[in-house]
Amino acid sequence: MRLGDLIGQTRAATALRNAITRHRVSHAYLFSGPHGVGKSTAALAFAQALNCDRPSPDDPAAACGQCRSCRLISQGTHPDVRLISPPGKRETSVIPIDRIRRDLVYDINLRPAMGRRKVYILDPADRTAPFSIHTILKALEEPPPYAVIILVTSRPALLPPTIPSRCQQVAFQLAGIEAIVHHLQTLGLDAPVAAAIAALSGGRVAWAVGAAHHPDVLAVRNALLDLCAGLHARAASGGLRLAEEIKLQALALSQAQNDGEEQTETEDASSESGSAPAAAGGGRLRSDLPWCLDVIVSWYRDRLAAAHGAPLVNPDYAEAVSRRKSGRIAADERAIAAILETKHSLQRNANVDLALESLAIKLLAEPATMRSSSHSERGRAR
């Protein structure tokens, strides 16, 4: 991918392109921004632009994508481009200090084998072994002129101040929904499906592309919205069952993503490349539940939007959303507040089952109240 092809990152791409065209490439960069917005992709695209054998005469920053250097970088086998990441897939794993010494501190003193630049990508830079900061600082302070070090992180606050101060910082942002929809359509998705995935992505292109390749993700989303659409018919005493159904959908989402990761597990283990996804098992459930809760929030948000004639996040559920009773706006707002509070509780390591059960009871209380009010009104009418 060329720098100009990054989705929703015009400012970051322009800064990197200008560095090449104006011959002002820094020795070190810090790519920071939300998870899944294209920082790792940008790092590889920058490495291609720096080492492309056949750059465009009109645009030196535009890598051809076809020459030997570009192909080797895409394949992760270029001798002058090192992707230094934690081994395995666990969120708690870190980049070993021996790996940093071997692939960065020692290797940086060797001249390029075939390219113009040697590029070192630490991804994620906030997950390095204890006592490795001084090792990284040494490489940042005394780099040879042909070396470029790129630190990638979605949590820059975890880096000591001495690291960012020695890097040129490039900020990445969440992409616009329309840009993600267009990109998904170029991948072959129908417009309604692309719009649904983009709306749920929260501006994270990597998540949207991953969801596009995992139909089970959309199936989980549809199941959660169907649950929401049927809440009005449930008894207030069904909180435990509702909580269990939400949990089962989160587990289904975890399984779908784990299945996709297992397909590349052998390749990842051999190259030790790529950012590590969320841990499997209980840790994965806890990390996927907030997304499931976001889907439920989108249902109530759409109910509020429908009341004010605003666009819906889930336009394919417009008919179900439109079946609303008068006086439900305050109840929808309370539901959203309860869901957000549950998300915060999970972030504070609350018990998953208890948090979901408490939420389910609150969500079912409102429909029960509405039904009771309706019966009372009919009784008075008689």
Please state, in angstroms and rounded to a whole number, the distance separating the CA atoms of residues 215 and 217. 5
- 278-285's contacts with Cβ under 8 Å and 24+ in sequence apart are 278/91, 279/89, 279/90, 279/91, 279/92, 280/89, 280/254, 283/91, 284/254, 284/257, 284/258, 285/247, 285/250, 285/251, 285/254, 285/352
> Which residues are registered as beta bridge partners of 149?
28, 120
State how beta strands 28-32 and 147-153 pair: parallel
pLDDT above 70 as % of the chain: 86
- What's the Cα-to-Cα distance from 349 to each of 182, 214, 229, 286, 287, rounded to whole Å? 37, 28, 29, 9, 11
Residue range 278-284: average pLDDT? Answer: 49
Tokens found for residue 280: 């499997």
Q: Is the pLDDT of residue 271 over 50?
A: no
Residue range 298-311: average pLDDT? Answer: 90
User: Which range (177-191, 233-247, 263-277) has the least confidence?
Assistant: 263-277
Element (H, E) at 206: helix 205-212
pTM for the structure as a whole: 0.77
Instruction: Tell me 128's DSSP state.
Output: B
Element (H, E) at 377: helix 352-381
Please state, in angstroms and rounded to a whole number, the distance separating the CA atoms of residues 269 and 86. 10
| Chain centroid, CA 180 distance in Å | 13
Under 8 Å between Cβ of 149 and 117:
no
Q: Is the pLDDT of residue 371 over 70?
A: no
Under 8 Å between Cβ of 61 and 31:
no
Q: Is the pLDDT of residue 93 over 70?
A: yes
In the prediction, which pLDDT does 265 show?
A: 42
Cβ within 8 Å of residue 343, ≥6 positions away = 290, 293
Q: Phi first, then psi: give them for residue 303, nearest 5 degrees.
A: -65, -40
Q: Phi first, then psi: give them for residue 74, nearest 5 degrees.
A: -60, -35
Q: Is the pLDDT of residue 238 over 70?
A: yes
User: Which range (25-34, 84-93, 146-155, 197-206) has the least confidence?
Assistant: 84-93
Return the top range by mean pLDDT from 70-84, 223-237, 278-292, 316-330: 70-84
pLDDT, averaged across the chain: 85
Q: Is the pLDDT of residue 290 over 70?
A: yes
| Domain boundaries defined on the chain | 3-171, 214-381
Among residues 82, 62, 65, the alpha carbon closest in space to that of 150 is found at: 82
* CATH annotation of 3-171: 3.40.50.300
- What's the Cα-to-Cα distance from 38 to each of 9, 130, 152, 211, 281, rounded to whole Å? 8, 27, 10, 15, 26
Q: Which residue is associated with the tokens 């059960």?
A: 357
Please state, in angstroms and rounded to a whole number, the distance separating the CA atoms of residues 288 and 248. 11
Q: What is the DSSP string of 280-339?
A: STHHHHHHHHHHHHHHHHHHHHHHHHHHTTPPPS-GGGHHHHH---TT-HHHHHHHHHHH
Residue range 115-129: average pLDDT? Answer: 94
Q: Which residue is associated with the tokens 């009418």?
A: 381
pLDDT tens digits for range 44-66: 999 999 999 998 888 889 999 99
Q: Which residue is associated with the tokens 């992180």?
A: 153
Among residues 92, 105, 168, 91, the alpha carbon closest in space to that of 133 is found at: 105
